[in-house]
Amino acid sequence: MMPASSQPTPAREIAERLTALFWKRPGILLALLLAPPLLWLGVVYVGSLIALLWQSFYSIDPFSGVVVREFTLKTYGELLLPQNYDIILRTVTMAAAVTLASAVLAFPIAFYAARFAKGRWKAVFYLGVMLPLWSSYLVKVYAWKLILAKEGIVTWAANGIGAGSLLDAVLSIPVIGGNSLSTSFIGTFTVFVYVWLPYMILPMQASLERVPKSMLEASADLGAGGLRTLWSVTLPLALPGIIAGSIFTFSLTLGDYIIPQIIGNSANFIGMAVYSLQGTAGNIPLAAAFAVIPILIMLVYLAIARRLGAFDAL
Amino acid sequence: MRSDRPPFILTAGAIGGLLFLHLPILLIFLYAFTTEEKSYQFPPPGLTTEWFGVAWNRADIWPPLWLSVKVATIASCLALILGTLCAAAMARARFFGRDTISLLVILPIALPGIITGMSLRSAFAVADIPFSMWTIMLGHATFCIVIVYNNAVARFRRLGSSMLEASADLGANAFQTFRFVILPNLGTALLAGGMLAFALSFDEVIVTTFTAGTGNAAKTLPIWMLDELVRPRQRPVTNVVAIVVFMATFLPILAAYYLTSGAEETAGGGK
């Protein structure tokens, strides 16, 4: 519905002139549209990233605990101390394990949704992945605190089916075991997988949907069985999607600090180190240097993923 | 592989996977009714509804709830404006630096929250900005832009340029075209994007812990919950609050899905 054009009011005249200007010089309109979001992202976000890098080249005076505002590589050198190097190694190992497990668990869901789910079931699968993806992160972590608690449902179920001794045997494994599931690496790992699994399913499903049916038929015509087709045709074609998903699971695990803080044996992860260093310890330079590590790891990871064609699957 | 019937092991894996994703949440609901407040004993020794009343009367829950609502409202409004502007520009033209801009929009959510959080924390330290509600809001608006942007840009693309040209041919100026052609067509996509942004902001905890400071005045509901997780007091009360937080994110997502279903760009595809 268009308002009837009456006498040209001043406001209307300005609008007409601007319209003519935008028509003649589309670049001006483009610049006007882009200026507010770019200013925001440029100042608030890129500015902050630069501040982060900047802080990481400062250091802290070991005696007074005051930040020395002079450029130095000393803080990065501290990352190589055994206790800090351990944190990095532990986090990367966890991220790799979580990524592998997510890929294995995600595959049946993604494959079923892409190939066999039709109509109503397609919507069920879509919502079935989308809702856990979006629902509250903290609520999800809390749910697992209830599940993994020593007096919780897992212990109850294990005792119920007579597998209580099996659970104790698993928990007595050194390193990954612990006092209870909620204070062991097994627990931390399980919760990580649970929380990031939807991020793996979605790109995997998208890339599986793009595998042409004709290829699968050709494979069957050439005499390949189901497993052979899966291994030699479907998986290689779906690989970019799997790698795209692994970018999320890997990066999100690298940067998380809530999960290992709430469920785990209080061994440090990169995120926890960053949080405690900037807070109670007041060592912002070292916290910043720690935060740069995931960025560097992800840059390398992204470079490899790009080479494997994962970006077309995002 | 025959494409008409899935093998049993695949069906089992798929259904098992979906159950794995959904069952844990149900326990949150169950434990809100338990009579045991000192541990997470399963099965609960008894059931009661008293915790809802207790939660309602706890004075320490309401200020964080209002703060979260305020922050999420302001952040999603800002994100709506900035995200729509950006989508309008990106949908209408190809220009130099376009890929860089789309990377810039996605980056705040693609990088782990700890990096976004620590970056903002460093910037506040460098610029000597004191923590307040506005520092929380600043971070939230930044990572919400991409949510609105994703929804709006898909709708812009579907809208195409023919309608805009028709509007111009009929004598509408740029602002009339915006008000009477673009906005009505964009409506549901923006509503969906705004609600997703609200849900994301309402629930955010990692970036917030870096931008809120330590004072009680800057405690959002998720931070209140995090405190309870680390140092539990009345555990079932935490469950009641968890249900509220769950609903505050669950309902907008469901609404956003139905607002945009049917269109090819269903909301939420890119969190």
ipTM of the complex: 0.83
Interval B223-252: pLDDT, tens:
888 888 888 888 888 888 889 888 888 888
In the 8-state DSSP scheme, what is residue A292?
H
- Which residues in chain A touch residue B131, judged by CB atoms under 8 angstroms apart? none
Mean pLDDT for B14-41 is 85
Determine whether the interchain pair B6/A33 forms a contact, defined as Cβ–Cβ distance below 8 Å: no
Mean pLDDT for A93-111 is 94
- Which residues in chain B touch residue A244, judged by CB atoms under 8 angstroms apart? none
Q: How confident is the model at residue B79 (pLDDT cuts 50, 70, 90)?
A: very high
Mean pLDDT for B77-99 is 85
Q: How confident is the model at residue B4 (pLDDT cuts 50, 70, 90)?
A: low
Write out chain B in H/E/C secondary structure.
CCCCCCCHHHHHHHHHHHHHHHHHHHHHHHHCCECCCCCCCCCCCCECCHHHHHHHHCCCCHHHHHHHHHHHHHHHHHHHHHHHHHHHHHHHCCCCCHHHHHHHHHHHHHCCHHHHHHHHHHHHHHHCCCCCHHHHHHHHHHHHHHHHHHHHHHHHHHHCCHHHHHHHHCCCCHHHHHHHHHHHHHHHHHHHHHHHHHHHHHHCCHHHHHHCCCCHHHCCHHHHHHHHHHCCCCHHHHHHHHHHHHHHHHHHHHHHHHHHECECCCCCCCC
Measure the CA angle with vertex A28, ends A27 and A29; round to 5°.
95
Per the prediction, chain A carries an average pLDDT of: 85
- Per-residue model confidence (pLDDT) at position A1: 46
Place of tokens 């005499």: A223
Mean pLDDT for A160-174 is 81
Cα–Cα nearest to A271, from A93, A115, A88: A88
The DSSP result for A22-51, as a single string, is HHH-HHHHHHHHHHHHHHHIIIIIIHHHHH
Q: Does B129 touch chain A (CB under 8 A)?
A: no
Instruction: Give me the residue from B9, B173, B214 closest to A15, CB to CB.
Output: B173
**B8 in a structural domain:** no
Supply the CATH number for residue B66's domain: 1.10.3720.10
> Does the pLDDT at position B270 exceed 50?
no
Task: Name the domain count of chain B.
Answer: 1
- Per-residue model confidence (pLDDT) at position B106: 80
CA distances from A39 to A31, A42, A51, B86, B105 (A): 11, 5, 16, 11, 12
> Does the pLDDT at position A267 exceed 70?
yes
Query: Cβ contacts of residue A25 below 8 Å, gap of 6+?
Result: none
Cβ neighbour number for residue B114 with a 10 Å cutoff: 30
- Per-residue model confidence (pLDDT) at position B262: 59
> Does the pLDDT at position A93 exceed 90?
yes
- Per-residue model confidence (pLDDT) at position A8: 63
- Per-residue model confidence (pLDDT) at position A198: 92
CB-based contact A258:B205 (threshold 8 Å): yes
Determine whether the interchain pair A152/B271 forms a contact, defined as Cβ–Cβ distance below 8 Å: no
Determine whether the interchain pair A51/B126 forms a contact, defined as Cβ–Cβ distance below 8 Å: yes
- Per-residue model confidence (pLDDT) at position B47: 79
Q: Could you give phi then psi for residue B261, rounded to 5 degrees?
A: -70, 150
Percent of chain B with pLDDT strictly greater than 70 = 94
Instruction: Give me the residue from A48, A197, A291 closest to B21, CB to CB.
Output: A197
Instruction: Give me the residue from B18, B24, B141 closest to A147, CB to CB.
Output: B24
Q: Which residue has the higher pLDDT, B208 or B125?
A: B208
Q: How far apart are CA A141 and CA B97, in angstroms?
A: 39
- Which residues in chain B touch residue A66, judged by CB atoms under 8 angstroms apart? none
**B169 in a structural domain:** yes
Mean pLDDT for B184-207 is 89
A250 burial level (CB within 10 Å; 0-12, 13-18, 19+): buried
Interval A33-72: pLDDT, tens:
888 989 988 888 898 889 888 888 888 887 777 778 888 8
- Per-residue model confidence (pLDDT) at position B263: 53
Mean pLDDT for B2-31 is 84
- Which residues in chain B touch residue A46, judged by CB atoms under 8 angstroms apart? 104
Q: Least CA distance to B249: which residue of chain A? A: A135
- Which residues in chain A touch residue B43, judged by CB atoms under 8 angstroms apart? 156
Mean pLDDT for B20-43 is 84
- Which residues in chain B touch residue A197, judged by CB atoms under 8 angstroms apart? 17, 20-21
Top residue of A6, A136, A259 to mutate, by most chain B CBs within 10 Å, is A136
> Does the pLDDT at position A210 exceed 70?
yes
Q: How confident is the model at residue B84 (pLDDT cuts 50, 70, 90)?
A: very high
- Per-residue model confidence (pLDDT) at position B32: 83
Q: Least CA distance to B176: which residue of chain A? A: A2
Q: Considering only residues 50 to 79 of chain B, which have any Cβ-Cβ distance to chain A shorter than 8 Å?
A: none
Q: Does B172 touch chain A (CB under 8 A)?
A: yes
- Per-residue model confidence (pLDDT) at position A313: 54
Q: How confident is the model at residue B170 (pLDDT cuts 50, 70, 90)?
A: confident
Both structure tokens of A204? 């995997």
CA B196 to chain A, closest CA, distance in angstroms equals 9
CB-based contact A44:B142 (threshold 8 Å): yes
Determine whether the interchain pair B126/A255 forms a contact, defined as Cβ–Cβ distance below 8 Å: no
> Does the pLDDT at position B77 exceed 80?
yes
Determine whether the interchain pair A129/B20 forms a contact, defined as Cβ–Cβ distance below 8 Å: no
- Per-residue model confidence (pLDDT) at position B71: 94
Top residue of A52, A141, A147 to mutate, by most chain B CBs within 10 Å, is A52
What are the residue boundaries of the structural domains of chain A, listed by start? 74-313
Mean pLDDT for B133-158 is 88
Q: Considering only residues 13 to 42 of chain B, which have any Cβ-Cβ distance to chain A shorter than 8 Å?
A: 13-14, 16-18, 20-22, 24-25, 27-28, 31, 39-42
Percent of chain B with pLDDT strictly greater than 90 = 14
- Which residues in chain B touch residue A199, judged by CB atoms under 8 angstroms apart? 271
Cβ neighbour number for residue B153 with a 10 Å cutoff: 23
- Which residues in chain B touch residue A167, judged by CB atoms under 8 angstroms apart? none
Pick from A227-241, B13-27, B34-48, B125-139: least confident: B34-48
Q: Can you identify the CATH homologous superfamily of domain A74-313?
A: MetI-like (1.10.3720.10)
Q: Could you give phi then psi for residue A231, rounded to 5 degrees?
A: -75, -40
CA A58 to chain B, closest CA, distance in angstroms equals 11
Q: How far apart are CA B143 and CA A41, in angstroms?
A: 10
Q: Least CA distance to B181: which residue of chain A? A: A1
Instruction: Give me the residue from B21, B119, B138 closest to A128, CB to CB.
Output: B21
Determine whether the interchain pair B107/A45 forms a contact, defined as Cβ–Cβ distance below 8 Å: yes
Q: Which domain holds residue B196?
A: 59-260
Top residue of A142, A154, A193 to mutate, by most chain B CBs within 10 Å, is A142
Instruction: Give me the residue from B112, B254, B271 closest to A256, CB to CB.
Output: B112
Q: How confident is the model at residue A284 (pLDDT cuts 50, 70, 90)?
A: confident
Determine whether the interchain pair A137/B101 forms a contact, defined as Cβ–Cβ distance below 8 Å: no
**B10 in a structural domain:** no
The DSSP result for A119-137, as a single string, is THHHHHHHHHHHHHHHS-H
